[in-house]
Amino acid sequence: MSNILEVSGLGKAFRDYGSEFKRFASWFGVTVTPRHEHWVLRDISFVVGRGEAIGIVGQNGAGKSTLLKLITRTLMPTEGSVAVHGRIAAILELGMGFSPDLTGRQNVYHAAGLMGFSRDQIDAAIPDIEAFAEIGEYFDEHVRTYSSGMQMRVAFSVATAFRPDILIVDEALSVGDAYFQHKCFKRIKEFREQGTSLLIVSHDSGAIQSMCDRAVLLQGGRVVRDGDPVEVMDAYNALIAERENSTMKVERLETGQVQTTSGTFEAVVKEIQLYAMDGERIEFIDVGQDVELRIDVEARADIPRLVLGYMIKDRLGQPVFGTNTFHTRQVVDDVPAGCTVSYVARFTMNLGPGSYSISTALVSTDTHLVDNYEWRDLALIFTVANHSHAHFVGSAWIPPKIDIKSLP
C-alpha cells in the first residue's frame, strides 16, 4: 500500500429541507428532495503517497476547510469517499477541548484521550510531552493561569506526541514565539523523514514551494490544478488577480515549464529582453554584470494609470527581488489605446549562479488585486553563471572583503 490517503469523487453539500420534519423523515428511509442543495465541494479526487508532502491552496471559500474536515472525518461526505490507511493528526485547532480549571498535565491526559489513546500509552508519552512543551512548573498549574503561548506549546506537544501517518498542518498557525515555531517545524520535518505524509494548508507560496512535493489548487469547490508546487502557485496567483472578463492562459514553454498569463489584457507585455550594456541581447549573465531589462508594453485599451511590476524568481519560484513603478513613483497616466510604453530597468546582476525567471505584472496601483491588466509568469528566463569571481554559493552576490589576522 503506497497511498496513504485516497480521495475519490468527494463531494459535500449542505442541504436545506425547508422543513426539518422532511429531514427527520429522510433518516428513516423516506425519499425527500431537499429544497436547496449547496455544494461546497464536488468531484475532488487525489491521492497522497506515503511520506509525500502536499500543499493545499485556494482562496477563502474555495473549500479548503471543508476538505480537511472531510479528511479528518468531522464532516461526513455527501458523495464519494475518503480512504485513510493510517492515523491522522491535525494541528489546526490547537487547544480545543482544553479545560481552564484543569492543570496542563490533566488536560494532556484528556486531549490525548480524545485522540483515542489509552492511559498506558499516555503515561509513556507524558515525559516527552512535558519536555517538549518546556513550560517548567506551569505544567502542573491550572491552564487558566497560562499565557496563550504556553497553552499553544502544550497543545502542540500533545497533538504531535505520537507520530501520525498523516499530519495536517495549517502553515499560518502561530505556535507561540519564534523559538518554539522553529522547534515545531523541526519536529514536523523529523516526522516527514520517518515517513509521515504532510498536508499543508497555506497562502504562502514560499512555504508551499519549499516544503511540498506537490500542490493542489482548489477553486469553487473543485480541484483546478494538481501538480508541481511552482506551477500551482503561479496559477493560484493568477487566480487571485482574476477579475471579471479577465482570462487565464496556460502555455507550455519550449523548456517544458508551464507559463501562466492572466488578466484583462487591456495592456500586455509585447517584448521583454535582457541586454548587456553594449546593447547586445544576452541570456547568460556573469555574476555582478551590469544589465538592462527592456520591457515594451502595448496598451490595447485606454489605460488611465499604468504601473509595471517585475519580479525575479529563482528556479524554485521563490522571489529574489521585485518592485514596481508605483513604488519608484514612475506611474504613467492616461495611456491611449495602441500606444507602446518602453521601460528600461538598469541594474547590476548581484545574483548567485543559477537559473532565474522574471514575472511581470501590469496593473493600475501597487497590487495586482485592483486592476489586473496582465500578469505573466516566466515572462523571461535567464541564467547567471560565475565566470569572474571566487567560488560562492547562494542566490545573492554579496562580495566580502575578508581581513585575516593571526594572533600569536
Q: Is there a contact between 211 and 188 (Cβ–Cβ < 8 Å)?
A: no
Q: How far is the CB of 23 from other proteins (least distance, A)?
A: 6
Locate cell 542566490: which residue? Answer: 395
**Adjacent-strand bridge partners of 322:** 311
Q: How far is the CB of 74 from other proteins (least distance, A)?
A: 5
Nearer to other proteins, 90 or 341 (CB): 90
Nearer to other proteins, 9 or 97 (CB): 97
Phi-psi region of 38 (alpha: psi -120 to 50; beta: other; left: phi over 0): beta
From the CB of residue 88, how many other CB atoms can be counted at a distance below 10 Å? 20
Nearer to other proteins, 96 or 172 (CB): 96
Nearer to other proteins, 122 or 232 (CB): 122
Burial 356-393 (b: 16+ CB within 10 A, else e): bbbbbbbbbeebbeebbbbbbbbbbbbebebeeeeeee
Q: How far is the CB of 92 from other proteins (least distance, A)?
A: 7
Q: Please enumerate in sequence order all residues whose Cβ is within 8 A of that of 335, keeping only pairs 6 or more positions apart, or say none.
A: 267, 299, 302, 303, 306, 341
Nearer to other proteins, 20 or 244 (CB): 20
Nearer to other proteins, 118 or 340 (CB): 118
Residue numbers of the site for other proteins (CB under 8 A)? 14-15, 20, 23-24, 27-28, 69, 72-76, 90, 92-93, 96-97, 99, 101-102, 106, 109-110, 113-119, 122
Question: Closest Cα to residue 152, out of 126, 171, 134?
Answer: 134
Q: How far is the CB of 215 from other proteins (least distance, A)?
A: 25
Q: Please enumerate in sequence order all residues whose Cβ is within 8 A of that of 13, keeping only pairs 6 or more positions apart, or say none.
A: 37, 38, 39, 40, 78
The CA–CA distances, whole Å, from 2 to 47, 67, 99 equal: 10, 22, 39
Q: How far is the CB of 132 from other proteins (least distance, A)?
A: 20
The CA–CA distances, whole Å, from 390 to 11, 290, 349, 398 equal: 57, 18, 16, 12
Please tell me the distance from the alpha carbon of residue 126 to that of residue 154, in angstroms, as a whole number: 11
- The count of C-alpha atoms lying within 13 angstroms of the C-alpha of 401, restricted to the half-sphere facing its C-beta, is 0
Nearer to other proteins, 89 or 312 (CB): 89
Q: How far is the CB of 113 from other proteins (least distance, A)?
A: 4
Q: How far is the CB of 175 from other proteins (least distance, A)?
A: 17
Which helix H or strand E contains 300, and what residues bound it?
Answer: none
Nearer to other proteins, 101 or 254 (CB): 101
Q: What is the dihedral of CA 208, 212, 214, 220, to 10 degrees?
A: -40
Q: In what order do the strands lie in the sheet with 166-170?
A: 88-91, 166-170, 197-201, 53-58, 214-219, 222-227
Nearer to other proteins, 71 or 380 (CB): 71
